Amino acid sequence: MERELTEKCAVFGALTTSRYATRLRYYGLFALQHRGQESSGIASSIEGGLKRHAGEGLVAHVYRAEDLDDLKSSLAIGHNRYATSGGNPGDQVQPIVDSTLGFAFAHNGNLPETVKLEKFLSEHGIRHDDVSDSRMMALAIGCYMSEGNSLTAAIELAWPLFTGAFLCVAMTEDTIAGFRDAYGIRPLSLGKLDDGYAIASETCAFDTVGAAFLRDIKPGELVTVTAQGVKYKQVVVSPRTALDVFEYVYFARPDSMIMGRRVNEVRRKLGENLAREFKIEADVVVPVPDSAIPAALGYAAATGIRFDHGFIKNRYIHRTFIKPTQEMRECDVKTKLNPVPEAVMGKRVIVIDDSIVRGTTTAQIVDMLYGAGATQVHVLVSSPPVKFPDFYGINTPDPRELIASYMTEDEIRDQMGAGSLGYLSMDGMISATGWPKNKLNTSSFDGEYPIDIGDRARVILRSR
Ligand code: AMP
For the stretch 271-281, pLDDT in tens is 999 999 999 99
Region 44-58 average pLDDT: 91
Q: Residue 3: its pLDDT value, please?
A: 38
210 and 324 assigned to the same domain: no
Contacts by 325-331, CB closer than 8 A, 24 or more apart: 326/358, 326/360, 329/358, 329/360, 330/360, 330/364
Q: For residue 438, what are the contacts with CB-CB under 8 A and spacing of at least 6?
A: 240, 242
- Asked if residue 56 belongs to a domain, the reply is yes
201 and 343 assigned to the same domain: no
Overall number of domains in the chain: 2
- Asked if residue 457 belongs to a domain, the reply is no
Instruction: Decide: 274 and 382 in contact? Cβ < 8 Å.
Output: yes
Contacts by 234-237, CB closer than 8 A, 24 or more apart: 235/155, 235/156, 235/159, 235/179, 236/159, 236/182
Residue 87 has pLDDT above 70, yes or no: no
Residue 427 has pLDDT above 90, yes or no: yes
Q: Residue 363: its pLDDT value, please?
A: 93
- Asked if residue 1 belongs to a domain, the reply is no
For residue 231, what pLDDT band results from cuts at 50, 70 and 90? very high
Distance 437 CA to ligand 1 centre (A): 23
Distance 117 CA to ligand 1 centre (A): 32
Express the helix, strand and coil content of the chain in percent, nearest 5 each: 35, 25, 35
Is 9 an annotated catalytic residue? yes
Q: Torsion angle, CA of 261/267/271/277, rounded to 10 degrees?
A: 60
Report H helices in 80-184. 89-92, 115-123, 133-146, 151-158
Region 278-306 average pLDDT: 97
Identify the domain containing residue 317 by its residue range: 265-439
Identify the domain boundary among 241, 276, 294. 241
- Asked if residue 130 belongs to a domain, the reply is yes
Residue 181 CB less than 6 A away from ligand 1 = no
Residue 364 CB less than 6 A away from ligand 1 = no
Instruction: Decide: 201 and 178 in contact? Cβ < 8 Å.
Output: no
- Asked if residue 3 belongs to a domain, the reply is no
Q: CA-CA distance, 434 to 442, in Å (whole number)?
A: 14
Residue identifier of the C-alpha nearest atom 22 of ligand 1: 321
Distance 382 CA to ligand 1 centre (A): 12
Residue 319 CB less than 6 A away from ligand 1 = yes
From 9, 143, 168, 204, active-site residue: 9
Residue identifier of the C-alpha nearest atom 17 of ligand 1: 321
Residue identifier of the C-alpha nearest atom 21 of ligand 1: 321
Q: Residue 461: its pLDDT value, please?
A: 63
Identify the domain boundary among 192, 225, 241. 241
Q: Residue 464: its pLDDT value, please?
A: 55
Q: Residue 78: its pLDDT value, please?
A: 94
109 and 152 assigned to the same domain: yes
Q: Torsion angle, CA of 115/82/321/267, rounded to 10 degrees?
A: -100
Looking at per-residue confidence, does 271 or 323 come out higher? 271
373 and 409 assigned to the same domain: yes
Identify the domain boundary among 241, 257, 274. 241
Residue 395 has pLDDT above 80, yes or no: no
Residue 303 CB less than 6 A away from ligand 1 = no
Q: What's the CATH number where 172 sits?
A: 3.60.20.10
230 and 341 assigned to the same domain: no
Q: Residue 8: its pLDDT value, please?
A: 45
Instruction: Decide: 78 and 41 in contact? Cβ < 8 Å.
Output: yes
Q: Residue 393: its pLDDT value, please?
A: 78
Residue 451 has pLDDT above 90, yes or no: no
Residue 115 has pLDDT above 60, yes or no: yes
Q: How far is CA 214 from CA 192, 194, 234, 296, 440, in A?
A: 6, 12, 17, 31, 22
Q: Which of 9, 321, 361 to mutate to test the pocket of ligand 1 (most atoms within 8 A of CB)?
A: 321
Residue identifier of the C-alpha nearest atom 15 of ligand 1: 355
Instruction: Decide: 78 and 33 in contact? Cβ < 8 Å.
Output: no
Among 84, 46, 75, 42, smallest CA distance to 59 is for: 42
For the stretch 353-376, pLDDT in tens is 999 999 989 999 999 999 999 999
418 and 346 assigned to the same domain: yes
232 and 304 assigned to the same domain: no
75 and 195 assigned to the same domain: yes
For residue 392, what pLDDT band results from cuts at 50, 70 and 90? confident
192 and 284 assigned to the same domain: no
Ligand 1 atom having least distance to the Cα of 353 = 10
271 and 237 assigned to the same domain: no
Distance 251 CA to ligand 1 centre (A): 9
For residue 62, what pLDDT band results from cuts at 50, 70 and 90? very high
Ligand 1 atom having least distance to the Cα of 395 = 19
Distance 435 CA to ligand 1 centre (A): 24
For the stretch 233-254, pLDDT in tens is 999 999 999 999 999 999 999 9
233 and 349 assigned to the same domain: no
- Asked if residue 291 belongs to a domain, the reply is yes
Which range (111-115, 355-359, 377-381, 453-457) has the least confidence? 453-457
pTM for this predicted structure: 0.92
Secondary structure letter of residue 5 according to DSSP: P
- Asked if residue 249 belongs to a domain, the reply is no
Q: CA-CA distance, 311 to 317, in Å (whole number)?
A: 15
- Asked if residue 462 belongs to a domain, the reply is no
Q: Torsion angle, CA of 438/439/440/445, rounded to 10 degrees?
A: -10
Residue 347 has pLDDT above 80, yes or no: yes
Residue identifier of the C-alpha nearest atom 8 of ligand 1: 321
Instruction: Decide: 404 and 387 in contact? Cβ < 8 Å.
Output: yes
Residue 382 CB less than 6 A away from ligand 1 = no
403 and 269 assigned to the same domain: yes
Distance 357 CA to ligand 1 centre (A): 6
Residue 354 CB less than 6 A away from ligand 1 = yes
Percentage of residues in the chain having pLDDT higher than 90: 74
